Structure 1
Amino acid sequence: MILLLCLLCFICGEPAWSLEVQEFTVKEDIQQVAVANNNLYVATVKTLYWWVNLTLDKSPKTAQLPSNVIIHMFLFVKNNRLISCGVNEKRKCYCESRDLKNINKVVSSENILMGPQRSSSGSVSFLVDVKKNSGQTETYILTAIKNHRDKTEEDRCGADLKTINLHNADQKQNGGLFSRLDQSGSSPPGIQTEADVDFVDGFQINSTVYLFSNVASGGKTNKVRLIWFQAETSKSDTLKSLRGATLSSSGGEGSRLLASSVVPGGQQVLWSGVFSVDKGGENTELLLFDISPDLSREANTDPDFYTSVNKPNSSSKPKSLEPKAVLFKKKYMNSVLVVKQDNWMVFFIGTSNGQLIKLPVDKNNRPACPKELHRASGKENVFSKILLDPVDHKHIYLIFKNNVVFFSFFHVACTRLHIRVFLSL
């Protein structure tokens, strides 16, 4: 049966691949990775590496970092800035902005907390574009911070952050760079929760912002939550537009979302998630959902997330979303990325024991033959995020503890895939 299935994959025109491997070196454990325009930025404990135009230049440029924990790092391409936040050697919080074309040039630096105080695990951050009444677009930094009711961390930075916040990404915005103030200048808006929340992923498509999390509320078992925002005319209006849904998997209540990737293009907003369906976390499944936002439901009435100072007495039950398809079941899956190849969706799946698997899925959501593309030496874990270059969509980055695997793919007579590996010293 397996041979027959593979033969059918070939006949139906499954994308073909060829592989090539090259090696590059980095030092220390990787903390954060950011990519844009065929440029790769890797932050370790003390060093920022920059590979310029990866197809031509194999020697990274470097800069020293003032931090021993990098919590956030992302690229603000239209402002030519690399923004990073962390905790420095003196155990003080900071955020700084560097020139994308000269990473040793620090444009601005603030002693400020923007995110969790110890680790990026369970928290996410990304840039959000909000259209103003004037027709102009403002870019903010959304931070969604892991929230546990049992507060064991000391507050080293004196910040009054909410669970979800919007920060300025430009010095010219009201309140200055990294400020949470809104246009009115009153207290900064934010979203709060009383539940234990671990955030998994977030992104923006057109005017809608999507945020995924695992939520355990009131001592109940875990549920996987999606909340939507509409990028309105202000920070406050954007956050108050929140609506929510609960995602189902075969594991029922207690299942956890491990990784996430949106399917590019299409009228429907299709999204894939890796779910752990047992208490041990070994058994995992890849599911496909339609997460198109339902704007007919009343905004800001979610039972887990709210914008008021105190939790409202009344709330509405979130919409329940069932998967369109169960695409793949395999142990130890922990990361996923989807790209489009003609009429196929091609899923790149990482595992916690170091595998990279390619899974083609046709337009009817039927998976073809999975194929192992890469296996790490030893027992290296794949990080829960596989990155795609956001501009040319032709480069994929698979992240391990001490190395990054760089994939470049393009169309010729058939689809070809090239790999470059960044190994630790």
Structure 2
Amino acid sequence: MLLLLGLLCSIWAEPAQGLEEDGGFRFEGDLRLLTVSNNFVYIATEEKLYQLSHDLVLIYSLTQRGILKNPNDENSQEFYRVSMNGAWDKTFTVNVLLPFVNNDTLISCGATEENCGYCEVLDLKNISKVLYKEPVQVGPLRSISGSVSFLVDVKKDSVHTETFILTAIENHRKTEEDSCPNDLETISLHNTNQKQPGDIFSLVDENRDKPWIQTDSVVGFVDGFQINSTVYLFSNVASANKPHKVRLIWLQAKTSKSETLKSLRGATLRTSDGGEGSKLLASSVIPGGQQVLWSGVFSLDGGPTNTELLLFDISPDGNDQTYTDPDFFYKPKKPDKQGFAS
């Protein structure tokens, strides 16, 4: 994969439209993602990317419409925004939006329609400045429903910590419409900067493996987060003719990508009647305390009306015995000779 390193450049920025008489704000296009950093709020819609203060005062907005240079070469495609009155033929749809506060950057990844994955690294304080861009898939290409992504801090040793992007992608059956090359598995860890082995967005580990977690089931992810050194992922799983089940998996973010993903452990979450066939609709962690308490809204029959709110203690049990998960499994892959940077 060729990396498109370049000079820091300004991209098209313009005042957002839609200010209302009462001081409210109307976004252009349907809201896709919202994320918050220490000082700003970032919102991606179908039409624009917005940067606001915490009291929701607009700072910058960027159109997501533009042109794609070198569209037939997946290794050197570049997306360029245009003015509102300029000619455009592509839309950059954002499916991953992550403030990397320690690096003063905003990671924005998604797809440019049929031309597959694309990522930009923006200035955290001024999203009108693009620091880096690359045609690469990080996270889902289309719908964000059933997929989650967040930053994970992996403690390399007593002094050093590395930050990676964890992507957990909905596992669906491939169709004829899936023409984009896809090098991702269900759960992956991507680099966040050029100094890490393999360079930015790479999947490889120090030993040149591409570690990831796979599944043979149909999986839709609902939530994921990190507390201390433990990473939590919640998903709805269906396999063969078996009823749906809700799965929680734990990962210990230590040493490396490989060791983190290899630490996979899991549990099946059941509703109060102990029955199967339930689905997780919503998730919320309860902060504070020595125990990790989590609440979830479960659908008892797969629909939106017959629901149950349950509270769980999801603290890791510290059991180091050999474990085999019924739905997910760790599998490293050696990259090809030309794929170390991918």
Please tell me the root mean square deviation across aligned C-alpha atoms, in Å. Answer: 2.0
Identity of aligned residues (%): 58
Q: TM-score scaled by structure 1?
A: 0.64
1:209 equivalent in structure 2: 231
Q: What is the CA deviation profile of residues 64-119 of structure 1, one whole-angstrom value per residue up to 9, with x for unaligned ones? A: 22534221111101111111111115533101110011101111111011122211
Q: What is the CA deviation profile of residues 131-169 of structure 1, one whole-angstrom value per residue up to 9, with x for unaligned ones? A: 113620000000001113x32264443232111000001
Give 3-state SS (helix, strand or coil) of 1:26's partner: coil
Letter paired with 2:310: L
1:283 equivalent in structure 2: 306
| Residue 145, structure 1, aligned to residue 169, structure 2 | yes
| Alignment counterpart, residue 297 of structure 2, candidates 274, 278, 283 | 274
2:188 equivalent in structure 1: 165
Aligned-partner Cα distance in 1 for 2:238–2:54: 44
2:50 equivalent in structure 1: 49
- Residues 80-95 of structure 1 correspond to what in structure 2 (within 5 A)? 80-89=104-113, 91-95=115-119
Letter paired with 1:119: S
| Alignment counterpart, residue 254 of structure 2, candidates 232, 238, 261 | 232
Query: Contact 2:60 / 2:128 at 8 angstroms: preserved in 1?
Result: no
Aligned-partner Cα distance in 2 for 1:153–1:171: 35
Give 3-state SS (helix, strand or coil) of 1:254's partner: coil
1:109 equivalent in structure 2: 133
| Residue 133, structure 1, aligned to residue 160, structure 2 | no
| Residue 307, structure 1, aligned to residue 330, structure 2 | yes
Aligned-partner Cα distance in 1 for 2:293–2:23: 34
Aligned length: 286
| Alignment counterpart, residue 245 of structure 2, candidates 212, 217, 223 | 223
Query: Contact 2:28 / 2:47 at 8 angstroms: preserved in 1?
Result: no
Aligned-partner Cα distance in 1 for 2:116–2:184: 16
CA drift at 1:172 = 1.3
Aligned-partner Cα distance in 2 for 1:212–1:256: 11
Give 3-state SS (helix, strand or coil) of 1:174's partner: coil
**Larger RCO, structure (CA 8 Å, separation 6 or more):** 1
Query: Contact 2:96 / 2:108 at 8 angstroms: preserved in 1?
Result: yes
2:63 equivalent in structure 1: 64
Which blocks of at least 5 consecutive residues in structure 1 are unaligned?
1-20, 311-425
Which blocks of at least 5 consecutive residues in structure 2 are unaligned?
1-21, 66-90, 334-342
Letter paired with 2:269: L
Query: Contact 1:92 / 1:157 at 8 angstroms: preserved in 2?
Result: yes
Aligned-partner Cα distance in 1 for 2:23–2:289: 35
Closer, same or farther in 2 for the Cα pair 1:32/1:291, shift >3 Å? same
Give 3-state SS (helix, strand or coil) of 1:78's partner: helix
Letter paired with 2:43: V
| Residue 196, structure 1, aligned to residue 218, structure 2 | yes
Aligned-partner Cα distance in 2 for 1:123–1:134: 32
Aligned-partner Cα distance in 2 for 1:104–1:153: 37
Query: Contact 1:163 / 1:192 at 8 angstroms: preserved in 2?
Result: yes
Aligned-partner Cα distance in 2 for 1:183–1:291: 31
Letter paired with 1:126: F
1:259 equivalent in structure 2: 282
- Residues 318-357 of structure 1 correspond to what in structure 2 (within 5 A)? none
Query: Contact 1:91 / 1:156 at 8 angstroms: preserved in 2?
Result: no
Aligned-partner Cα distance in 2 for 1:63–1:299: 50
2:25 equivalent in structure 1: 24
| Residue 35, structure 1, aligned to residue 59, structure 2 | no
Q: What is the CA deviation profile of residues 34-70 of structure 1, one whole-angstrom value per residue up to 9, with x for unaligned ones? A: 111242111112311111242xx63342112253422
Q: TM-score scaled by structure 2?
A: 0.79
Letter paired with 2:139: G
Query: Contact 2:171 / 2:220 at 8 angstroms: preserved in 1?
Result: yes
1:295 equivalent in structure 2: 318
Query: Contact 1:73 / 1:85 at 8 angstroms: preserved in 2?
Result: yes
Closer, same or farther in 2 for the Cα pair 1:70/1:255, shift >3 Å? same
